[in-house]
Amino acid sequence: MGAGRLYGVGLGPGDPELVTVKAARLVERADVVAYHSARHGRSIARAIAEPYLREGQIEEALVYPVTTETTAHPGGYRGAIDEFYAECAARLAAHLDAGRDVVVLCEGDPFFYGSYLHIHKRLSPRYATEVVPGVTSVSGGSAVLGRPLVEGDEVLTVLPGTLAPEELARRLDGSGPAAILKLGRTFTAVREALARAGRLDEAWYVERATTAGQRVAPLSDVDPSTVPYFSLALLPSRVAAVPPPLVDAAARSGPGEVSVVGLGPAGREWTTPEAQAVLAAADDLVGYGPYLDRVPPNPRQRRHPSGNTEEAARAAYALDLAAAGSRVAVVSSGDPGVFAMASAVLEVAAQPRYADVPVRVVPGLTAAQAVASRAGAPLGHDYCVLSLSDRLKPWDVIVERLTAAARTDLVIAIYNPASRTRTWQVEKARDLLLEHRAPDTPVVVGRDVGGPAEHVRVVRLADLDPSGVDMRCLLIVGSSATRQGSGGAVFTPRRYP
């Protein structure tokens, strides 16, 4: 063993105050401080450690010869990097042989996808070595997101974004929490894998966690051109149980309240100021996981996600929280009174034990209004709204109502047209409507309006293809008066012939 000692020191995700006491002590006492950087010379690790450096220390800047660009090295990228790490090890070994202690600075944890690994493998057999763990980027991301990573028997999967999209999708296929690192140039492929696995709506993007430049956003809203390497995707715990609400009895007496809040069809710009104010004031947020994820995280608040078919249990849970004194916001997409949570909450709230719990409904922009606005004004005259889902009502009732609307020449906004398990209703509805509507009747097909995958098209009723319709779509079927103008806008005149 050489006379000097080698330390791989984890500095945490970015905030210098998250450096451990031991790491700070070792950095301050080290004879030599080494850190990696790209050719621009700026080192994130050194910036984190700077408050703990002292004058007179020797600094070894380990500058990568290549990062994302191509190289003329005969061994290619791998050959260039292997040669670089061998040179780094030789430079640090010279200090160790001279009796100097060397600290290699590492963002996050040295043994968690860290560059220090390559130094450790080359020098630890020859020199006394110690690794000081640090807070990982995954832990830092979870903290700033304000969402637990795992609970109970959940299993956390950590993946590099450099995996092929099909392999990422395979490993993400399930409901367990996950973290995906090394985004940057891989971001588009990672987003593709999340979408393929059906988990894009629950994914969060965290950039430079715990630093002044941190950014947190739903991953589906992020522009790929803005994504740096030091960012990650998080799919947090779906269980995320929390203790009962902490209520300041001196500040609040009696029960709290439940507000059923409509978020609108997409992002914050589609949510009313009233709804945003109610969400901001809430102690607890309750809702279907993907809808709840649309509310910006606030560490002060407790979040209670649940599944898509658990409306009654969700309503009772919200009312129990309010009965204990909490201000609870139950979130719904669109308007909570349209095929959403308002009626479910009010139905449970009618039970005598919730008689003292106030419940109010905060309206939101509906999906029908959003799709109509993108197409023109197809809802300009009388119209009806119905759902093709037969989960809560028999299909023969849907047929009767659809037939009645078709016979009376109403414009029809159709919610829940199809899902993974309901694939035949759209074709049946189209054929039924063709018995009462002309083949050329305009049909607006809107998908993910306001979201990153927004797509709106207009087709003839006779040409409506069920294979292009899913649960994220809404259909607007015109009346006999509905027409498409020369500019492509669809409208229903206010005057009926």
Q: Which tens digit of pLDDT belongs to each residue from 387-437?
A: 999 888 899 999 999 999 999 999 999 999 988 878 789 999 999 999 999
What is d(CA 43, CA 20) in angstroms, rounded to the nearest whole number?
A: 19
Report phi then psi at 119, rounded to 5.
-70, -45
Q: Given this structure, which CATH class describes domain 5-135?
A: alpha beta
What does the pLDDT average to over 138-145? 93
Q: Can you give the C-alpha Rg of the chain in angstroms? A: 29
SS3 call for 105: strand
What is d(CA 392, CA 416) in angstroms, rounded to the nearest whole number?
A: 12
- Tens-place pLDDT, residues 99-136: 999 999 999 999 999 889 999 999 999 999 999 999 99
- Both tokens of 372, joined, read 């109509």
Per-residue pLDDT at 251: 45
Burial (CB count within 10 angstroms: exposed 0-12, middle 13-18, buried 19+), residue 19: buried
Domain 257-365 is found in CATH 3.30.70.270: no
What does the pLDDT average to over 64-77? 70
User: Which of the listed CATH numbers 3.40.228.10, 1.10.10.10, 3.30.950.10, 3.90.550.10 matches domain 138-235?
Assistant: 3.30.950.10
Segment (H or E) for 323 = helix 311-323
Q: Using an 8 Å Cβ cutoff, are 375 and 458 in contact?
A: yes
Considering only residues 217 and 267, tell me which one the structure prediction assigns the higher pLDDT: 217
In the predicted model, is pLDDT for residue 172 greater than 60?
yes
In the predicted model, is pLDDT for residue 249 greater than 60?
no
What does the pLDDT average to over 17-28? 97
Q: Which position has the token pair 């609108």?
A: 264
- Tens-place pLDDT, residues 350-372: 999 899 999 999 999 999 999 99
Segments of the chain assigned to CATH 3.30.950.10: 138-235, 368-491
- Helix ranges, 330-457 (H): 341-349, 367-375, 395-407, 425-433
Q: Using an 8 Å Cβ cutoff, are 56 and 29 in contact?
A: no
Q: What is the mean pLDDT of the chain?
A: 90
In the predicted model, is pLDDT for residue 306 greater than 60?
yes
- Both tokens of 299, joined, read 């560490």
What does the pLDDT average to over 179-208? 93
What does the pLDDT average to over 255-280? 90
- Both tokens of 479, joined, read 């009346």
Burial (CB count within 10 angstroms: exposed 0-12, middle 13-18, buried 19+), residue 254: exposed
Q: Using an 8 Å Cβ cutoff, are 32 and 103 in contact?
A: yes
What does the pLDDT average to over 4-29? 96
> Cα–Cα distances in Å, from 102 out to 7, 36, 129, 157, 485?
6, 14, 10, 33, 74
Q: How many CB atoms lie within 10 A of CB 307?
A: 12
In the predicted model, is pLDDT for residue 336 greater than 60?
yes
Q: How confident is the model at residue 1 (pLDDT cuts 50, 70, 90)?
A: low
End-to-end CA distance of the chain: 96
Per-residue pLDDT at 247: 42
Segment (H or E) for 94 = helix 76-97
Q: Using an 8 Å Cβ cutoff, are 445 and 378 in contact?
A: no
Report phi then psi at 341, rounded to 5.
-85, -15
What is d(CA 214, CA 205) in angstroms, rounded to the nearest whole number?
A: 10
Per-residue pLDDT at 227: 93
Q: Using an 8 Å Cβ cutoff, are 490 and 483 in contact?
A: yes
Per-residue pLDDT at 146: 86
Segments of the chain assigned to CATH 3.40.1010.10: 5-135, 257-365
Q: Which position has the token pair 């093709």?
A: 388
Question: Which has the closest alpha carbon to 102: 110, 94, 114?
Answer: 94
In the predicted model, is pLDDT for residue 143 greater than 90?
yes
Q: How confident is the model at residue 79 (pLDDT cuts 50, 70, 90)?
A: confident
**Beta bridge pairs of residue 103:** 7, 33
**Beta bridge pairs of residue 205:** 217, 233
Residue 231: CA count within 13 A, CB half-sphere: 26
CATH no., domain 368-491: 3.30.950.10
What is d(CA 30, CA 52) in angstroms, rounded to the nearest whole number?
A: 10
What does the pLDDT average to over 427-456? 93
In the predicted model, is pLDDT for residue 42 greater than 90?
no
- Tens-place pLDDT, residues 273-302: 899 999 998 999 999 988 998 998 888 899
Question: Which has the closest alpha carbon to 133: 117, 109, 116, 104?
Answer: 109
- Both tokens of 330, joined, read 């139950």
Segment (H or E) for 324 = none
- Tens-place pLDDT, residues 239-248: 754 444 444 4
Per-residue pLDDT at 245: 41
SS3 call for 5: strand
Q: What is the DSSP secondary-structure string of 266-301?
A: SSGGGS-HHHHHHHHH-SEEEEEHHHHTTSPP-TTS
What is d(CA 389, CA 387) in angstroms, rounded to the nearest whole number?
A: 5
Calculate the CA dihedral of residues 458, 460, 462, 468 and round it to 10 degrees.
-10
